[in-house]
Amino acid sequence: MKKSFLALSLATTLFAGTVFSGQAYAADKAVPFTRGEYMHAIVQQLEATPKDKNSALPKDVSAESPYAETVRVMKEKKIVFGYEDGTFKLDQPVSVTEAEMILSRVLGIAGVEASDILSKQFGVSFGSDAIVTKEEALGVIKDALVIDPAILDLVNKSSVQSMKQQSFSMDMSQDITNTLNQKMPELNNVDRFSQSSDISMEYIKDKGLHMSMTATMPEILGEAIPSIKMEQYYVPEGIFMMMTNPETNKDEWINMTDVFPMSFEQLMAIQKDSIELNNKLLDKSFFYRDLGNVEVEGKKLKQVGFYGQISSMDEIMELFQGTMNNQEIAIPSIEETGLAGMSMYGTMLIDETTKLPMSAEYNISISFTPSTELPFKEMKMEMDADFKEYNQVKAIVLPEAAKNAKKIDLTIDPSTEVTPDKKAE
């Protein structure tokens, strides 16, 4: 059990603007905005429509309600779930707390920092009253959910410039907190554990990448686990990984070429095609904010905030499938991934002269569908990355020990496979 849990922990570590088009409302500070009006204004701003126009509605919302589609969108995007009694209470005035919560979910900002981020980075203020007025609500929605075209253009150009680089390197620190479906005896009977890692990567277009990582693991059964070091090479010769065997405390190389889901050539082709996928995600799922300029080592950098959420993995799978048209790669189904949704926010620094990204801070939250096969309920990641040495990395050399590594064989011996009949015996 200890060994399997260690493998599970290690796997998580490797998991390495439109203008407001809605109805013109009277700016009457004495009239509170209802929950239905607030949600409807957001959906109009997003120009969103439900994927399933016949999905079930809350018991207090009829199919003929002018808010029926709004409610379906809010449910599909997992922004509003309703009250415990199965109602949405659309005619009830929206409170400041509710308004902030709904807006933060649209932007993919989760947790206790949401209110602070809305205030400091978006200038969101609903006033001191407990009730939100129409004027306040419409002003906040228009300010928060409209992207500055100049910032979006800079982000797109940065993506294009990044793809033009022949090589670069990256240093990144990563902290992961996993919340489990149930308490685990191996973790001293707690239902969450954290781990951290420091990662360095070198990449050369068409020649591959080299990644090294040191991971700090959680205690298992009260026993401290030594830090694990590993290296990975994705090169024309194949896919290779070196890690410290926790039982022997020796470094071991393995050849993963035959079990990796795609070939090196496919991986490099996806890297080239990823700009199209990236731009689709930029336009479809994220909002960007100009957070001003900073100067680092004599360079003028633009600080950009990014915020977004993907409520269904169907969205990203559709984008992925449509972008990788020429790649014969088996993309896993939603059920296979176990992913239910993802939200992400953070900041990045872009050199305004070269348009290249210099650094980025990410806060990512991933939710999983309840499953007996997958123990995770939620995964939260905080990552700080520095990008450097553009066009300066000249070679990625596979070590001799990796070339002689044993290939992984995942073939199951039928004589040892446990079947229901064998269990019964």
Q: Quick one: pLDDT at residue 110?
A: 73
Residue 379 CA to residue 368 CA, distance in Å, equals 8
The answer to whether the CB of 378 falls within 8 A of the CB of 365 is yes
Q: Quick one: pLDDT at residue 220?
A: 66
Residue 9's pLDDT band (boundaries 50, 70, 90)?
very low
Fold of 2-13+151-407: outer membrane lipoprotein receptor (LolB), chain A (2.50.20)
Segment 269-278, tens digit of pLDDT:
777 666 566 6
Pairing of strands 250-255, 406-407: parallel
Residue 259 CA to residue 267 CA, distance in Å, equals 14
Residue 20 CA to residue 41 CA, distance in Å, equals 9
Q: Quick one: pLDDT at residue 21?
A: 32
Closest CA to 286 of 306, 304, 312: 306
Backbone angles phi, psi at 180, to 5 degrees: -100, 165
Q: Quick one: pLDDT at residue 369?
A: 80
* Residue 101, C-beta contacts closer than 8 angstroms, at least 6 positions apart: 114
Of the listed ranges 111-115, 130-134, 230-234, 412-416, the one predicted with least confidence: 412-416
Q: Quick one: pLDDT at residue 24?
A: 37
- Opening angle at CA 355, ends 349 and 359, nearest 5: 25
Q: Quick one: pLDDT at residue 18?
A: 28
What number is the average pLDDT over the span 243-249?
A: 78
Per-residue pLDDT for 125 more than 60?
Answer: yes
The domain spans of the chain are 2-13+151-407, 18-146
pTM value?
Answer: 0.80
Q: Quick one: pLDDT at residue 212?
A: 96
Closest CA to 312 of 114, 78, 22: 78
Segment 304-342, tens digit of pLDDT:
999 998 876 666 666 555 544 455 555 554 445 567 788
Per-residue pLDDT for 422 more than 50?
Answer: no
Residue 99's pLDDT band (boundaries 50, 70, 90)?
very high
Mean predicted lDDT score pLDDT of the chain = 81
